């Protein structure tokens, strides 16, 4: 097997052959996806890094890998420091690194299918300051040296029936076409995979954990569209479903087609489209209209059918998680279990539903100190035994035809320390504060975030991740545009007003480096609040996730009466919804877990 040192050397030889001085390698695909197919895992192949976010730059005489705070430990475990310098992106961005390290006359290559146009412009400006230049490559040099690079998935597309989608594709396209016409656009290029899947009511198996096909679409302002997808992936059923208004072109024909739109005004989402799309449109004489993907907001605002599907999926998933939690309380204290075996057991319980399509992301199965790594990903090299005296944190989710789930629970293995109980209860108080919030129409996630952090802040601690993200309907587990976070600015998603029908997570946490991690996560649905005498429209959250909390980690004396009532009501409803799906012994265990405090 080729070493990472040999791969790095081969890349440098390829760069020399092409006459370029360096190359940028992100974790990305042609759709700016959060999770990418195996064929696009170029950074992992080159460096050994297994995280979901990061990038690298390779120059002839130096190389650096850039990661955020989630992967500070992981990148050092997986990537050889003799080959790559470790760079924290919050301290030095890739752009700043280029400005500081590029030399006059150097040409730094990039793949225009893997970067936004805004990033390219910033990189070009940074390189120019150093007298260097950025060069778009014709073919990704990693692909040229990756001998056993996986092929793109050939999985067939699937029809997502109206009983799950709640609205047919033709109606969705007509609404977006009217929007484009009102904006003065002739059409729009849609590149985000979950957007394409949602628009056409299709799903796929091309990306792990996210049921989407690899495809682009050009949506016209009359409701017709061209779907760019490998033709062999289209079944007769899918062809009939798409209908006569949708034409099929090959996946790699997008650039050619965009080059034939001279004089047309084409909307392009600058945050969700790669530079190659804009470059092809400009080369063909089209006029680009920067405009958010018109499916983003209607996709986020779930219709009544999708809302009920989410409720059903969460009850089913909650029963599987409850069975797992009972297994944990009985088995973990015996010893002999580890992070991988526990994650596999959870998958067994979800598979036993008979309708699980996939997990919604790679399960975060974290024992003791690994729980303090808020986005830890276990593998054979990092796998820890789960031992008595630890907290075991498990963040997981399922993909079902009627909904996508995401839940985090913490299990005390044996008797927890006083510190563990205190921190868990503080996190719980923040979770409850957000769950009980009522807020006026127009409120954004940034305005609610402090509710979840207040009790930790009061004690001089915090957590370094957002409090809530949007969730799709049998789609991406991380879905915009809404978000609950203290991060500011339009790109952070926290300025987006919450709307009735949006689904978000509620997941405050606490992480003690080298010790333990705590996160309590439920999904919630934004709904109208019925407040007598309210002056204006107000909203609140409906809880979707049902599985017991960890009673031995709750200090009831730290809770107010309203907070105790919330816990008791939550557990009472959990028992009412989940209990009937369980066998007698599991139901008795759940009744004990849900006893009033």
DSSP sequence for 74-103: HHHHHS-TTTSEEEETTTS-HHHHHHHH--
Domains of the chain and CATH, by start = 4-145 (3.40.350.10), 158-299 (3.40.350.10), 301-593 (3.90.230.10)
C-alpha distance from residue 26 to each of 81, 150, 189, 205 (Å): 18, 17, 23, 23
Residues 6+ apart with CB under 8 A from 32: 116, 191, 192, 271, 272, 273, 274
- Residue 35 pLDDT > 90, yes or no? no
Q: Mean pLDDT, to the nearest integer, of 472-496?
A: 86
CA quadruple 333, 316, 299, 274: dihedral positive or negative?
positive
Q: Mean pLDDT, to the nearest integer, of 534-539?
A: 96
Tens digits of residue pLDDT in 123-173: 999 999 999 999 999 999 999 999 999 999 999 999 999 999 999 999 999
* C-alpha–C-alpha distance, residues 45 and 173, integer Å: 39
Tens digits of residue pLDDT in 215-227: 999 999 999 999 9
- Residue 317 pLDDT > 90, yes or no? yes
From the list 111, 86, 105, the residue with the least C-alpha distance to 97 is 86
Q: Mean pLDDT, to the nearest integer, of 395-422?
A: 98
pLDDT at residue 487, as a whole number? 83
Calculate the CA 244 to chain-centre distance: 33
Tens digits of residue pLDDT in 176-210: 999 999 999 999 999 999 999 999 999 999 998 99
pLDDT at residue 489, as a whole number? 63
Q: Mean pLDDT, to the nearest integer, of 72-95?
A: 89
* C-alpha–C-alpha distance, residues 197 and 211, integer Å: 8
pLDDT at residue 493, as a whole number? 64
A 10 A CB-CB count for 465 gives 16
Cα-Cα end-to-end distance for the chain: 57
- Work out the pLDDT band at 53, boundaries 50, 70, 90: confident
Phi–psi pair at 19, nearest 5 degrees: 75, 30
- Residue 1 pLDDT > 90, yes or no? no
C-alpha distance from residue 400 to each of 307, 315, 403, 578 (Å): 13, 12, 5, 17
pLDDT at residue 156, as a whole number? 98
* C-alpha–C-alpha distance, residues 550 and 397, integer Å: 19
- Residue 490 pLDDT > 80, yes or no? no
- Work out the pLDDT band at 408, boundaries 50, 70, 90: very high
- Residue 70 pLDDT > 80, yes or no? no
pLDDT at residue 71, as a whole number? 78
* C-alpha–C-alpha distance, residues 435 and 469, integer Å: 14
Q: Give percent of the chain above pLDDT 70.
A: 99
Check: CB of residue 281 under 8 Å from CB of residue 452: no
Tens digits of residue pLDDT in 422-449: 999 999 999 999 999 999 999 999 999 9
- Residue 307 pLDDT > 90, yes or no? yes
Tokens of 5: 């040192």
- Residue 75 pLDDT > 90, yes or no? no
* Mean per-residue pLDDT over the chain, rounded: 95
CA quadruple 168, 169, 170, 174: dihedral positive or negative?
positive
Tens digits of residue pLDDT in 340-358: 999 999 999 999 999 999 9
């Amino acid at each position: 097997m080729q070493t990472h040192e040999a791969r790095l050397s081969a890349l440098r030889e390829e760069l020399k052959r092409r006459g370029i001085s360096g190359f940028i390698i992100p974790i990305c695909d042609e759709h700016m996806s959060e999770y990418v197919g195996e064929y696009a895992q170029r950074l992992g192949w080159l460096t050994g890094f297994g995280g979901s976010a990061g990038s690298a730059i390779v120059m002839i005489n130096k190389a650096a890998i850039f990661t955020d705070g989630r992967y500070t430990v992981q990148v050092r475990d997986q990537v050889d420091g003799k080959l790559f310098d470790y760079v924290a992106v919050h301290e030095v961005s890739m752009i700043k690194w280029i400005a500081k390290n590029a030399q006059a006359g150097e040409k730094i290559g990039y793949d225009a299918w893997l970067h936004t146009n805004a990033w390219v412009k910033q990189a070009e400006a940074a390189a120019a300051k150093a007298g260097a230049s950025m060069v778009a490559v014709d073919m990704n040099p990693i692909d040229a040296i990756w001998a056993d690079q996986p092929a793109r998935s050939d999985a067939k597309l699937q029809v997502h029936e109206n009983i799950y989608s709640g609205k047919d594709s033709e109606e969705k396209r007509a609404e977006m076409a009217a929007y484009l016409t009102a904006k003065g656009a002739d059409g729009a290029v849609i590149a985000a995979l979950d957007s394409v899947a949602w628009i056409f009511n299709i799903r796929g198996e091309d990306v792990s954990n996210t049921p989407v096909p690899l495809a682009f679409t050009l949506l016209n302002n009359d409701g017709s569209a061209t779907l760019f997808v490998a033709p062999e992936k289209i079944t007769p059923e899918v062809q009939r479903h798409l209908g006569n208004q949708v034409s099929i072109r090959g996946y790699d024909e997008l650039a050619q087609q965009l080059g034939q739109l001279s004089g047309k005004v084409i909307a392009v989402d600058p945050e969700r489209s790669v530079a190659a799309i804009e470059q092809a449109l400009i080369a063909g004489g089209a006029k680009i209209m920067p405009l958010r993907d018109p499916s983003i907001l209607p996709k986020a605002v779930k219709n009544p059918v999708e809302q009920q599907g989410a409720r059903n999926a969460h009850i089913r998933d909650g029963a599987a998680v409850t069975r797992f939690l009972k297994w944990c309380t009985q088995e973990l204290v015996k010893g002999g279990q580890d992070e991988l075996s526990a994650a596999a057991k959870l998958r067994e319980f979800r598979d036993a539903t008979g309708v699980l399509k996939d997990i919604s992301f790679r399960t975060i199965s974290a024992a003791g100190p690994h729980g303090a790594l808020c986005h830890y990903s276990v593998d054979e090299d990092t796998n820890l035994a789960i031992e008595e005296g630890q907290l075991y944190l498990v963040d997981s989710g399922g993909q079902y035809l009627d909904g996508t789930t995401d839940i985090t629970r913490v299990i005390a293995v044996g008797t927890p320390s006083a510190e563990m109980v205190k921190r868990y209860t503080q996190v719980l108080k923040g979770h409850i504060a957000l769950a009980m919030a009522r807020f006026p129409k127009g409120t954004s996630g940034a305005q609610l975030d402090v509710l979840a952090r207040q009790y930790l802040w009061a004690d001089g601690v915090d957590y370094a991740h957002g409090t809530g993200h949007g969730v799709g309907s049998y789609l991406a587990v991380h879905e915009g545009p809404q978000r609950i976070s203290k991060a500011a600015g339009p790109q952070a998603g926290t300025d987006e007003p919450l709307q009735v029908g949006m689904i978000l997570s509620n997941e405050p946490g606490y992480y003690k480096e080298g010790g333990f991690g705590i996160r309590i996560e439920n999904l919630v649905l934004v709904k109208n609040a019925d407040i007598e005498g309210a002056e204006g429209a107000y909203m609140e959250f409906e809880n979707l996730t049902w599985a017991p909390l960890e009673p031995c980690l709750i200090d009831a004396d730290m809770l107010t009466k309203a907070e105790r009532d919330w816990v008791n009501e939550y557990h009472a409803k959990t028992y009412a919804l989940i209990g009937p799906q369980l066998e007698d012994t599991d139901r008795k265990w759940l009744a004990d877990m849900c006893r009033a405090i």
